[in-house]
């Protein structure tokens, strides 16, 4: 590494990001102890490169191999990794199945799955069957069959599988979790969550052909990206712990935004304007939990809008309410009746213990530091042999909103039952 540049700057992380974390050496029989964790990467696009950089900011990491169908992307990643670690990195770039060859290596403990969403389940299942632990980008799966495939594979192989749902680790989300766990909200009765972000520009390659995001909107309907919205709410509501999703009812607005965008960007008559968009611009759904709580979840990445925040959360309990937009909170008995208070007032008192412990290290890592937590918690689970922080049951419960919302839309808004994904889970 060039002198005068510190390790974090070299990795492209802001100052203060992921200051080399020392992992507690609490090791069970299943944990990886006394040596580095060896990671492979499947998909070295935007997210793959970024998560690899965040991983390199942690101590005790090796990256012997990376894979992408675009050789330049794999090479770029291999180059910055080998400069950072001083070791060669092998690239696998011989087409869409070449990751299977990489998975045959016996010097990989785990893989990052950062390919397009449509491939996550297949990549993850193959990795676990090849004996590798998995950190998969969101969503975990696009169909119910893929959800069950993931579950079966985790249950059969015993590998650690984590979905990298970073929104669960936002400081404010964890603060609210802390407040919920301390009983400040009383019983949780209602929540709203949304992923609303004009992402149409990401649906097209420069020549007008469709990226994997564009293909999602021409091949699937429903909420196509549910986990950033539902993850924090599911955590607050104890989904898969003290409650479970029971039914979902969904409806969509018509698909218009992509067609308008294609014409503006490429001009009338261009091939990009001939696509048949099937996913409605907005999909709104209502989820009822087993205990009767109601969750409204909204998805819209196709409508023209200004950028504010991509996510929106509201939580309602019998004793308190939280509104992420405007960072407002109301706690009965503490707040002046009927008046919101700024969240800031409670931030110190209820800062989550994990943020108190690692907040400084997380500064500068992507998504407000949340990417630091996602990667670190995955590595901790590998080192300690502990439970996955976002395990396969959470991953499929949250991801299954995509196929189930689609089924509800096709049935004219009829409620769809969530499968009992945990029926064979060892911890019930």
Ligand X SMILES: NC(=O)c1ccc[n+]([C@@H]2O[C@H](COP(=O)([O-])OP(=O)(O)OC[C@H]3O[C@@H](n4cnc5c(N)ncnc54)[C@H](O)[C@@H]3O)[C@@H](O)[C@H]2O)c1
Figure out which of the listed residues 32, 66, 125, 138 binds ligand X, where binding follows CB under 6 A. 138
Q: Phi and psi dihedrals of 161, rounded to 5?
A: -120, 125
Residue 236, interface with ligand X (CB under 6 A)?
no
CB of 340 to ligand X, least distance (A): 28
Q: Phi and psi dihedrals of 298, rounded to 5?
A: -125, 145
**Using CB under 6 A, which residues numbered 199 to 228 contact ligand X?**
212
Which is nearer to ligand X, 222 or 317 (by Cβ)?
Answer: 222
Figure out which of the listed residues 38, 53, 58, 73 binds ligand X, where binding follows CB under 6 A. 73
Which is nearer to ligand X, 47 or 53 (by Cβ)?
Answer: 47
Figure out which of the listed residues 99, 236, 358, 393 binds ligand X, where binding follows CB under 6 A. 99
Which is nearer to ligand X, 200 or 244 (by Cβ)?
Answer: 200
Which is nearer to ligand X, 57 or 317 (by Cβ)?
Answer: 57
Cα–Cα distance for residue pair 121/117, rounded to 1 Å: 8
Residue 415, interface with ligand X (CB under 6 A)?
no
**Using CB under 6 A, which residues numbered 17 to 56 contact ligand X?**
42-48
Q: Is the dihedral of CA 27, 28, 29, 30 positive or negative?
A: negative
Write the burial class of residue 310 (CB in 10 Å: 0-12 exposed, 13-18 middle, 19+ buried).
middle
CB of 43 to ligand X, least distance (A): 3
Residue 384, interface with ligand X (CB under 6 A)?
no
Figure out which of the listed residues 11, 37, 67, 395 binds ligand X, where binding follows CB under 6 A. 67
Residue 269, interface with ligand X (CB under 6 A)?
no
Query: Residues 6 or more apart from 95 whose CB is under 8 A from it?
Result: 69
Figure out which of the listed residues 77, 114, 302, 311 binds ligand X, where binding follows CB under 6 A. 114
User: Pick from 113, 121, 118: which is nearest to 137 by CA?
Assistant: 113
Figure out which of the listed residues 116, 186, 386, 415 binds ligand X, where binding follows CB under 6 A. 116
Figure out which of the listed residues 81, 84, 134, 137 binds ligand X, where binding follows CB under 6 A. 137
Query: Residues 6 or more apart from 37 whose CB is under 8 A from it?
Result: 60, 61, 62, 109, 110, 379, 382, 383
Strand partners, 312: 194
Residue 146, interface with ligand X (CB under 6 A)?
no
Closest residue to ligand X using C-beta atoms? 45
User: What dihedral do alpha carbons 263, 301, 74, 376 form, nearest 10°?
Assistant: 170
Residue 166, interface with ligand X (CB under 6 A)?
yes
**Using CB under 6 A, which residues numbered 309 to 368 contact ligand X?**
367
Residue 379, interface with ligand X (CB under 6 A)?
no
Cα–Cα distance for residue pair 284/34, rounded to 1 Å: 49
CB of 208 to ligand X, least distance (A): 16
Largest Cα–Cα distance of the chain, in whole Å? 64
| Only segment of 115-123, 185-193, 271-279, 289-297 that touches ligand X (CB under 6 A) | 115-123
Cα–Cα distance for residue pair 402/325, rounded to 1 Å: 25
Cα 5 to Cα 8, 104, 363, 370: the distances in Å are 8, 36, 18, 25
Cα–Cα distance for residue pair 41/234, rounded to 1 Å: 28
CB of 115 to ligand X, least distance (A): 4
Cα–Cα distance for residue pair 2/106, rounded to 1 Å: 32
Contact between 315 and 321 (Cβ < 8 Å) = yes
Figure out which of the listed residues 11, 37, 63, 117 binds ligand X, where binding follows CB under 6 A. 117
Which is nearer to ligand X, 73 or 352 (by Cβ)?
Answer: 73
Q: Note the residues at the interface with ligand X (CB under 6 A).
A: 42-48, 67-70, 73, 96, 99, 114-117, 119, 137-138, 164, 166, 212, 367
């Amino acid at each position: 590494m060039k002198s005068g540049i510190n390790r974090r700057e070299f990795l492209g992380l802001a100052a203060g990001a992921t200051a080399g974390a020392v992992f507690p050496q609490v090791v069970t029989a299943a944990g990886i102890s006394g040596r580095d964790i060896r990671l492979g990467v499947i998909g070295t696009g935007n997210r793959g490169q970024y998560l690899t950089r965040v991983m390199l900011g942690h101590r005790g990491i090796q990256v012997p191999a990376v894979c992408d169908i675009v050789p330049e992307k794999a090479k770029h990643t291999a180059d910055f990794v080998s400069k950072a670690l001083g070791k060669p990195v092998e690239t696998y770039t011989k087409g869409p199945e070449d990751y299977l060859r990489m998975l045959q290596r016996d010097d990989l403990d785990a893989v990052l799955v950062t390919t397009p969403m449509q491939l996550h389940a297949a990549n993850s299942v193959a990795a676990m069957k090849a004996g590798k632990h998995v950190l998969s980008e969101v969503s975990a799966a696009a169909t119910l069959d893929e959800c069950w495939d993931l579950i079966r594979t985790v249950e059969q192989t015993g590998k650690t599988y984590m979905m990298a749902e970073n929104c669960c680790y936002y400081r404010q989300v964890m603060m609210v979790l802390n407040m919920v766990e301390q009983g400040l909200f009383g019983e949780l009765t209602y929540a709203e969550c949304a992923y609303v972000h004009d992402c149409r520009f990401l649906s097209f390659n420069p020549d007008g052909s469709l990226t994997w995001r564009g293909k999602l909107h021409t091949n699937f309907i429903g909420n196509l990206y549910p986990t950033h919205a539902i993850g924090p709410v599911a955590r607050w509501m104890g989904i898969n712990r003290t409650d479970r999703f029971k039914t979902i009812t969904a409806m969509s607005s018509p698909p218009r935004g992509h067609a308008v965008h294609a014409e503006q960007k490429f001009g009338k008559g261009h091939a990009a304007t001939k696509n048949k968009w099937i996913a409605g611009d907005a999909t709104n759904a209502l989820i009822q939990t087993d205990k009767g709580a109601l969750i409204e979840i909204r998805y819209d990445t196709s409508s023209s809008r200004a950028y504010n925040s991509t996510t929106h959360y509201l939580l309602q309990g019998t004793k308190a309410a939280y509104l992420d937009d405007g960072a407002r909170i109301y706690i009965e008995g503490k707040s002046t009746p009927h008046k919101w208070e700024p969240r800031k007032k409670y931030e110190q008192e209820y800062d989550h213990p994990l943020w108190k412990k690692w907040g400084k290290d997380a500064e500068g890592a992507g998504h407000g530091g949340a990417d630091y937590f996602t990667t670190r918690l995955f590595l901790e689970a590998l080192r300690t042999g502990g439970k996955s922080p976002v395990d396969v049951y959470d991953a499929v419960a949250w991801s299954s909103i995509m196929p189930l919302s689609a089924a509800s839309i096709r049935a004219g808004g009829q409620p769809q039952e969530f499968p009992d994904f945990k029926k064979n889970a060892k911890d019930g």
